[in-house]
Structure 1
Amino acid sequence: MNRFVTRSVIRFAAILILMIGAALPVRAELNIQDVTSPGGIKAWLVEEHSIPFVTLEIRFKGGTSLDLPGKRGATYMMSGLLEEGAGNLDAAAFSRTREELAADFAFSARADTVKISAKFLRENQPAALELLRKAIEAPRFDQVAIDRVRAQVISIIAADKKDPNEIASATFDRLAYGNHPYATPSTGTTASIDKLTRADLVTAYKNAMAKDRLYVSAVGDVTPKELGVMLDELLGGLPDKGSPMPPHAKITLTGGVTLVDLPTPQSVALFGHKGIKRDDPEFFAAFVMNQIFGAGGFTSRLTKEVREKRGLTYGVYTYLASYDLAELYMGSVASANDRIAQAIDVIKAEWAKMAKGGATAEELDAAKKFLTGAYPLRFDGNGRIASILVNMQLDDLPRSYIKTRNDKVNAVTLADVAKVAKRLLKPENLRIVVVGQPEGMENIN
């Protein structure tokens, strides 16, 4: 290792330690600035000049949902190739240069977004940005890299086929989303990945990486003017438009039970039905209701009834699954094969009980205290803050949301919880997917 690498890496590590040790106390009064570059690229910025470090979070809306028919897995695989050589650098040279700069880049693709995260020292900013620009604007898609990443993706697919949680998720999605891209795993199948050509990956890149679906946040040692220049240098060369977004998914779930045989000592169950949109006027009531019902850990009703009172599981939870193009209300539980049926019966009974009776004043008070108290703790470092800011943009939330979010939680009343529980919770519509060898259960379609 040459002296430059040693100095940069040690300095990068030292600053990371400082960032952790000096993780700013909750910044409820974050000064979020709206920045527009000379070229028209928008971003949100929080300046933090105490540490010579910059964090960027970049999202391209659409994600793996943009895969073309017959090309499932192309966007997922493409995202893994962005750092496997770019511009005049092959994969090895790209990796070596990044290490020399002590820069941290991460590339991934999910159902709704292509995600890019970057952290770099202020002193290395010009070179780090140029390296990142090459990855974003000029990926090479060398055949040797394609073959390597293809093998990695196929390995992931093979592992997922043995994982009960992944099997449950894939089965549930297939039942929930019909012909929508959400219905199949973002990774694709072994067959679809095997058939992808370099041209397919280039097409996936062009479809996904465009300025009309771009969202950016920055936190750290950078001013608005400097960020504007950075944005144009980094992203200005991208095309203005990508491929059209897919339509909103039509939820095709019906009530019933789907069993997937897997020789394991315990079964995993995933259950759910249609949910609620993030911009629905009753979303916060649903959010608080969910905390009371299944998201509140040891204080939630489901944990008390399924785990503490009956000892049927080590963990049960529910969550609001709000994607860009679909909304579900879901939950999960794992239990021994001879007890999973009882666990599910208790969950269904509690589902109906909450739908009919709502919450108690004590439950509501505890949920509000937890949700409002825990929220500031999310802002515990520049990376977390940058992620929150870019996700707020994706959800079309205003910059003031950080200041008003807890007020919205506290405004929820018992009547609000009862109303949304009655509207949202439909035990008769629950589709339950069980992976394992559950005793006393059968398929119900």
Structure 2
Amino acid sequence: MKRMLCLALCLLAGCQSPTPVGDLARAYPAVDSLKTLKEAPPLGRQLDIQRWRTAEGAQVLFVPAPELPMFDVRLIFAAGSSQDGATPGLAMLTNGLLNEGTPGRDAGAIADGFERLGADFSNGAYRDQAVAGLRTLADPAHSEPALALLADVVGRPTFPAEAIQRIRDQLLTLIAASRREPASLAGEALQERLYGSHPYAHSPRGTAAGLARLDAASLTAFHARAYAAGNAVIALTGDLDRARAEQIAAQLSRALPRGPALPPLPVPAPAAPARVQLEIPAQQTRLLLGQLGITRRDPDYAALFVGNQILGGGGFGSRLMTELRERRGLTYGVSSGFTPMRQPGPFTLGLQTRAELGDATLALVRDLLRDYLAQGPTQAELDRAKRQIEGSFPLANASNGAIVAQLGNIGFYDLPSSYLDDFLQQVRRLTVEQVHAALQRHLDPANFVVVSAGPRVAQQPLPPPRPLPNLPPSGVPEH
């Protein structure tokens, strides 16, 4: 048995030449059965996270990863829609115009420059943050001009009038399209009701009125303030040593406007429970429930992550999916999750169901939430959730793109350098009682804001539940 497993491991690892079975047995002496492999902790990539600040105040996080001859750079700014102020859409429009013009280059020249060098530029704006990134070959013949172009794009955008109008028209088209989508309408209504006048309330896309008031002067002023070096995190990983990483970080930091980090956002006040009905002609009703959740630094993050996996974040096998889809056939899919940000982000639960079953489905969801928060998870559910999280966790740092995203979030949310290892260890140590207590601290079944988006039709009772299919015996591997 040992020898067969050793040979299988070699094949899975991609051995290029035959290896004596005896050598394989010595290489994997502890493998006694498939059960041993299944129960062993997953192998994760150990990250040597190095941190420093540039002379201009940008925070830098770097992980050397020389396996491939390329590297990734990501700049993260506290420049999301929560900084829009009185002109919703300011952050999105500013970010969307970064690569539309620099001194001496128009959008076509910028795109051609990255493409000619085999480099990939990316950007985006969200509620908390705005990002700009580059993936390039490590060869200086490619990377140095690509970095110089990136420095111009993030540090000296010119905001041409033609580009402003074109990107604004694209955002207006997205806004108009969202007005025809029940999921989008429900999401915006929930966010507005949860956050009221708080900066997290409005969509990153902005509003038609806000976009109409934006011009090159307002975009330039926002860029000077929100894309300042002191408001930036620079994440790097790939085929770099520390000296080269320091050079790149210093080059990008010098290219940014000078200035400090923006002040922290206010803490949102909890919203009163409410039921909002949006009348939309459709065959189905979109249901969305939410309340304020947690910040990214909350000490209960790991316990709530695991607790939500059991409730509705773990896909098939979660309580909500089992009851609403498998037993009742009420929806194709249902999910729940915390969205932690610098200030408390929302906890949301969403699904779509037949319009005539909307009220009864909502009542069932409320009952399931109430029961789960009152009783907590079972030991079997907790064990299964831990296995799922541990099994998928290596993907969090399996590629340079995944690593640079993790580094950016660790820096932006001021998490410790040991965060990834800490999180997995916290998950492994969690007990049923700890998960239950965390859920009760942060979620109240009586305080949900509920948004329904769909037609007003006569309501019907739920169909009776059907028995679940027989599950395989516990000794059969899950995968």
Give the alignment's TM-score, normalised by structure 1: 0.89
1:335-378: per-residue Cα shift (whole Å, max 9, x none)? 11012222211110011101211111111111111112211122
Asked whether the 8 Å contact 1:66–1:245 carries over to 2, the reply is no
- 1:346 maps to a residue whose letter is L
**Matched residues in 2 for 1:406 and 1:378: separation?**
11
Asked whether the 8 Å contact 1:168–1:268 carries over to 2, the reply is yes
Do structure 1's residue 46 and structure 2's residue 63 form an aligned pair?
Answer: yes
Do structure 1's residue 211 and structure 2's residue 229 form an aligned pair?
Answer: yes
Asked whether the 8 Å contact 2:44–2:393 carries over to 1, the reply is no
**Matched residues in 2 for 1:117 and 1:237: separation?**
15
Question: Quick one: which of 82, 86, 97 aligns to 1:65?
Answer: 82
Question: Quick one: which of 384, 393, 396 aligns to 1:366?
Answer: 384
Do structure 1's residue 134 and structure 2's residue 144 form an aligned pair?
Answer: no
Point out the more displaced range, 230-239 or 170-179.
Answer: 230-239
Q: Secondary structure at the match of 2:99?
A: coil
Q: Secondary structure at the match of 1:49?
A: coil
Q: Secondary structure at the match of 2:339?
A: strand
**Matched residues in 1 for 2:145 and 2:248: separation?**
12
**1:300 to partner: Cα distance:** 0.8
**Matched residues in 1 for 2:48 and 2:74: separation?**
17
Residue in structure 2 matched with residue 17 of structure 1 by the alignment: none
Residue in structure 2 matched with residue 348 of structure 1 by the alignment: 366
Asked whether the 8 Å contact 2:281–2:454 carries over to 1, the reply is yes
Asked whether the 8 Å contact 2:57–2:230 carries over to 1, the reply is no
1:153-197: per-residue Cα shift (whole Å, max 9, x none)? 111111111111111111011111111121111221112212211
Q: Secondary structure at the match of 1:236?
A: helix
**1:440 to partner: Cα distance:** 5.3
**1:41 to partner: Cα distance:** 4.0
Question: Quick one: which of 42, 50, 54 aligns to 1:33?
Answer: 50
Asked whether the 8 Å contact 1:45–1:218 carries over to 2, the reply is yes
**1:400 to partner: Cα distance:** 1.5
1:52-104: per-residue Cα shift (whole Å, max 9, x none)? 211011100242211132x2111110101000011211122112212111211
Question: Quick one: which of 212, 236, 241 aligns to 1:223?
Answer: 241
**Matched residues in 1 for 2:227 and 2:74: separation?**
14
Residue in structure 1 matched with residue 419 of structure 2 by the alignment: 401
Residue in structure 1 matched with residue 109 of structure 2 by the alignment: 93
Question: Quick one: which of 113, 128, 132 aligns to 2:129?
Answer: 113
Question: Quick one: which of 364, 385, 410 aligns to 1:392?
Answer: 410
Off by >6 Å, runs of 4+ in structure 1: none
- 2:327 maps to a residue whose letter is K
Residue in structure 2 matched with residue 381 of structure 1 by the alignment: 399
**Matched residues in 2 for 1:253 and 1:39: separation?**
40
**1:40 to partner: Cα distance:** 5.5
**Matched residues in 2 for 1:64 and 1:327: separation?**
14
**1:296 to partner: Cα distance:** 1.4
1:19-38: per-residue Cα shift (whole Å, max 9, x none)? xx9xxx96432222224456
**Matched residues in 1 for 2:138 and 2:296: separation?**
37
Point out the more displaced range, 240-249 or 51-60.
Answer: 240-249
**1:276 to partner: Cα distance:** 2.9
Asked whether the 8 Å contact 1:26–1:377 carries over to 2, the reply is no
Residue in structure 2 matched with residue 293 of structure 1 by the alignment: 311
Residue in structure 2 matched with residue 437 of structure 1 by the alignment: 455
Q: Secondary structure at the match of 1:179?
A: coil
Do structure 1's residue 166 and structure 2's residue 169 form an aligned pair?
Answer: no
Mark the structure with the bigger radius of gyration. 2
Residue in structure 2 matched with residue 270 of structure 1 by the alignment: 288
**Matched residues in 2 for 1:129 and 1:401: separation?**
29
**Matched residues in 2 for 1:55 and 1:410: separation?**
31
**Matched residues in 2 for 1:421 and 1:138: separation?**
46
Do structure 1's residue 308 and structure 2's residue 334 form an aligned pair?
Answer: no
- Label 1:440 to 1:253 Cα distance change in 2 as closer, same or farther (>3 A): farther
Residue in structure 2 matched with residue 18 of structure 1 by the alignment: none
**Matched residues in 2 for 1:397 and 1:238: separation?**
24
Point out the more displaced range, 244-253 or 342-351.
Answer: 244-253
**1:245 to partner: Cα distance:** 3.2
**Matched residues in 2 for 1:356 and 1:279: separation?**
25
**Matched residues in 1 for 2:380 and 2:456: separation?**
36
- Label 1:396 to 1:242 Cα distance change in 2 as closer, same or farther (>3 A): closer
Give the superposed CA RMSD. Answer: 1.9
Residue in structure 1 matched with residue 38 of structure 2 by the alignment: none
- Label 1:41 to 1:208 Cα distance change in 2 as closer, same or farther (>3 A): closer
**Matched residues in 2 for 1:141 and 1:62: separation?**
17
**1:106 to partner: Cα distance:** 1.0
Asked whether the 8 Å contact 1:317–1:333 carries over to 2, the reply is yes
Question: Quick one: which of 441, 445, 463 aligns to 1:427?
Answer: 445
**Matched residues in 2 for 1:66 and 1:385: separation?**
27
- 1:97 maps to a residue whose letter is G
Asked whether the 8 Å contact 1:266–1:335 carries over to 2, the reply is yes
1:284-341: per-residue Cα shift (whole Å, max 9, x none)? 2222111111111111111111111111101111101212122322110111101222
**Matched residues in 2 for 1:108 and 1:336: separation?**
35
Residue in structure 2 matched with residue 156 of structure 1 by the alignment: 174
Point out the more displaced range, 248-257 or 191-200.
Answer: 248-257
Q: Secondary structure at the match of 1:422?
A: helix
Structure 2 runs not aligned, ≥5 long: 1-13, 15-41, 460-479
**Matched residues in 2 for 1:250 and 1:244: separation?**
18
Q: Secondary structure at the match of 1:298?
A: coil
Give the alignment's TM-score, normalised by structure 2: 0.83
- Label 1:26 to 1:77 Cα distance change in 2 as closer, same or farther (>3 A): farther
- 1:33 maps to a residue whose letter is Q
